[in-house]
Structure formats: structure tokens, C-alpha cells
Structure 1
Amino acid sequence: MNNILLFFTFSLLATLCNAITHDFCVANNQTSPGPEGYACKDPATLTIDDFVYTAFRNSSPLNPMFNSSGTFAYVKQFPALNGLGLSMIRLDLGVGGVVPLHTHRTSEILIVSQGTVVAGFIDSSNYSAYYKKLEVGDMIIFPESLLHFQVNVGATPAVLFATLHDPNPGLQFTSFAVFGSNLPVELVEKTLHLDHEQVLKQKKIFGGS
């Protein structure tokens, strides 16, 4: 028992020491990531530019299917996020634009910088939908892994900023996962109770096979 306690004490101290002695670990994206993230770049080669991300200055081209776009600051795009437990996304929605139902592996906080949107999520326990119209300065949280969405309901373009508590939180759009994948048509029909023609139509729209 004493040996086990001693082991866990040293393990805890080692973890704390590691946290104290590493202020940052800018990712070396030339290496393969592991469960703890990427290997670190040599600190001697870093400059202030490694800690600055400027891609949010402008929007990405809008996807014509949804009239929206996302500019990502995940660890792949912003290596300084490696090991820090957060990332961000800039969302641009044209008039009537939509960010369709999707999930991440993490929770998300969303704040409206410009425009008027309806945003919400769906509870996994009873499938209740929670949604609300948001104005500039309003903020909403999407609990971890739940389906959520945003719709521009205003007369002007909308700009939103999302923060997630993982440098690589993942992203899965429901429509692309189902209709843009190689899931056979007959299985989509059975699992979603859709007719054959409708499944073929959606497969064509989302590029599935």
C-alpha cells in the first residue's frame, strides 16, 4: 500500500514539474501527433510571430451550399496552441447563411461579433432543442459533443467567433457524415426511414457514394 502511495505521489510531482517547466510547446507539424499533441519546436528557433495568428482578419470564401464559411485556428493552422487546451473558429454567414448541424469532441462558446443569428443545440437525453436569437455581444455555450447549429436571420452578413477547449476539437457535419460518405444507400434508407429517391438525391448533393 505504501509503495502504491509513493508511486502516485512521485507521478503527481512529475506531472506538476512538467507543467511548471514547460511554458509552451509550439507544435512541430512535421511530426506525427500523439495523444498529448505534437512534438515541440526547438525554443531557440521561435519568435513572437510563432505566437500570433492573423487569419481572422478576413473571412474565408463562402461555401455556396450553405452561404457560410469557417476560418480555423486549430493546432494545425496555429501551432502555438499545441498542449494549451483551446482553439478558435471564425464563422462568416452571408444573408440566410447556415452552419448546419454538426458536432465537436469538446464544448464550445460562441459569441456574435456582427449580425443576428439563431443558434442552438439538441439535448441527447430527451432530444429537446434549445435555441435563441442572438444579437451582437451575445454568447451561447454548446455542451460537449452535442449537435448544434447557427442560422443568419438578419438582413446583413454575420460574423461569429467560437472558442473550444481543445487544440484539435474535430468537426463532423451530420449531413456530410451520412450523405457524403460511402455508407450504402440501403443502409441510409433503413437507418433514417427515407425513400430510395430521396437518399440518392442527397448522396448526389453531398458527394457520397
Structure 2
Amino acid sequence: MVFQSIYETWRSLLDTLWKALGFEGKEGSLVVLGLDNAGKTTLLHRLRTGGDVRSFPPTDRPHQTEKFESQNIKFQAWDMGGHEAVRHLWEDYVCECSAVLFLIDAADTKRLEEASFELDALIGEKIVKGLPVAILLNKCDLEEEAMSTTEICKRIQYDDLRRMQGEDNISIFRISVLRGEGYQSAFRWIADFL
């Protein structure tokens, strides 16, 4: 009886400390952008299901995913689709979010210029002003096809993007949705903004 009382007292103190430090109850909303076939829907499915990976057809219209948790934060995400016909809608959803994930297919050299153009439009036109923007270089598990981070940074003019967005508000991460690697660091980085 005495031990149970001590246990409950300590548990209550730890729960209070946990909440006071802001580790409980944090929530955030994300907009997941990038060209079609970059891995946006697959990433969100993996996060939502706790690790299940499967292929999806291209997303044809924006849709809200179920909530998922990462880094002790509950997230709600919008999967916007990346084909050209829906990109004009990105701006409408960005204003309602806490952070932006922009996925780039690191193995798709032919479309890197197109991805760079869309990313530059988001940042250069101040659509994502003040928001943390995590650039996720997906498909890095395709070692022979995937470009290096240095090459991608040069081709998307990453230093210019950092100047426009603010150096602390943009970061780049190498990931593999298929292997479940790298995106955890992006969520830790985003967690610091919430």
C-alpha cells in the first residue's frame, strides 16, 4: 500500500514534468509536396501504418491523411499530389500548415530541374515564408542511380534557397522510404519548430 502510494506520487511528478517540458500534447500539420513519383504517398502510408510499404498510383487530388505520430508529436498531413495539374493548389494548403516536406527523387536526374523550379517558386514567391521546409532526397537506396547531396544542392541552388527562406528554416535530408531510413532526422528537425 505504501509502495503503491509512492509509485503513484512519482508517476504523477514525472507526468507533470513531461508535460511541462512540452513532450506531450504537441501537434503539427504538414503539407507534403514534390513531383509525382517522388514517394510522398508511400512515406505517409509508412508513417501512418507503422512501417508498411507499398506502391501507389499517382495522387490525383489533395487529400488529408490520417494522423500519425513521430518524435512524440501528433501530425496531420496533406498529401498534395505532384503532377502538374494540381501544383497550383499547393499554395492554398501551405498557409494552414506548421511545416513543409518537399520530396525529391534523388535518382530521377531528368526531372531534377523541374523539381528545382517548383521548390524555387515556393520559396522565391514567399509561399512558405517563415515555415520550416525539410527537403527530403528520397530513393537514396538506389546507390548507382541516386545523385549525391552535393550534386543535388548545386543543381537546385540550395544556398540561394537558404538565403531566401532563412538558413534556420530549411534543411536537406537523404532518405529511403523503402528502407525506412533518414526521414526520422527530418521529423526531429521539424519538432524543434513546434
TM-score in terms of structure 2 length: 0.33
The structure where helix makes up a greater share of residues is: 2
- Structure-1-length-normalised TM-score: 0.31
Greater per-residue strand proportion: 1
Greater Rg by CA: 1
